Amino acid sequence: MKIVELDGYAANPGDLSWDGLKQLGELTVYDRTAPQDVLERARGAQVILTNKVLITGELMDQMPELRYIGVLATGYNVVDIPAARRHGIVVTNIPAYSTMSVAQMVMAHLLNITNRVALHSDAVKTGEWQTCKDFTFSLTPQIELDGKTFGIVGLGNTGSATARIAQSFGMHVLAYSSKSPEVLKEMGIEKAESYEQLFRQADVLSLHCPLTGETHYLVNAERLSLMKPTAILINTGRGPLVDETALAQALNEGRIMAAGVDVLEEEPPRKGSPLIGAQNCFITPHIAWATKAARERLMNIAVANVKAFLNGTPQNVVS
């Protein structure tokens, strides 16, 4: 069994082991693979693993031995699923491996915006506290979260985990979700009847929905205009959920207070992004998923997925 991992560095930059996959076949791991090199590297493989390398129908046409594609992520839009079905190729993903890590990053962004710990720590180091006339000083308003409304779009694993943390801060959670009002009530969550209600009422709005035709640019100029001038937007989901130009304009004009994002439309943003220079916009480089604990779970599930396929009982199938 020939197994090829096309872009293994992101999941395993060297602090984890590939031994689990090595036990299942002849494994070749590439840190990164350019589009023009995919066919040469994957030719003859029965199993290929990818994180962000695109596997198109055209490539599948030229890889008759290919029987399985394992996506080392939850999102699987990097694979042409209809083409995989036509070729009888099983495609799997890795669900729920980074739930708590991503929820933690949501709160890291939120607490950064509300308390600006690093900013104040740096100010102390440069002597600003020492020269202050009072026992205390602040460079930004300190914002208490208790009693504020935490809005969520999407209540899957990560959205639900984030909601629980928000509740632990004393926040009222309002969610736009396919779950029934009765189910949400059991979770202590109010159901938003529309996006408009959610955007109007949320003091903090966090995005946890998949990227689809419906949710592309879910956050746009019209909906941003509904938000409070004190509102905070957090996006750890997918970059294209947000119209970056519209968000940058809203931030620069002070129509919302701040944004924290871990994802952008283009990653890396080689052509730039209007959010990079936007006022009160804090950007992390798509690292919410990447704690060692989360990556260990990802690797373990990836091995289990391949084993299940080889045993004739594939799991986490998305094709």
Residue of 230, 243, 232, 226 lying closest to 282 (CA atoms): 232
User: DSSP 3-state assignment of 258?
Assistant: strand
The pairing of beta strand 2-5 with beta strand 47-50: parallel
Helix/strand/coil for 27: strand
DSSP 8-state secondary structure symbol assigned to residue 8: -
Helix (H, G, I), strand (E, B) or coil at 249: helix
The Cα–Cα gap between 220 and 19 comes to 45
**What letter would DSSP give residue 50?**
E
At 158, is the secondary structure helix, strand, or coil?
A: helix
Q: Cis before residue 210, ω within 30 degrees of 0?
A: no
- Residues involved in catalysis: 238, 267, 286
Amino acid at 284: T
Determine the length of the chain.
319
Write b or e for each residue in 65-76: b if 16 or more Cβ atoms lie within 10 A of its Cβ, otherwise e: ebbbbbbbbbeb
Find out whether the peptide bond into 268 is cis, omega within 30 degrees of 0: yes
Is residue 161 within 8 A of residue 138, CB to CB? The reply is no
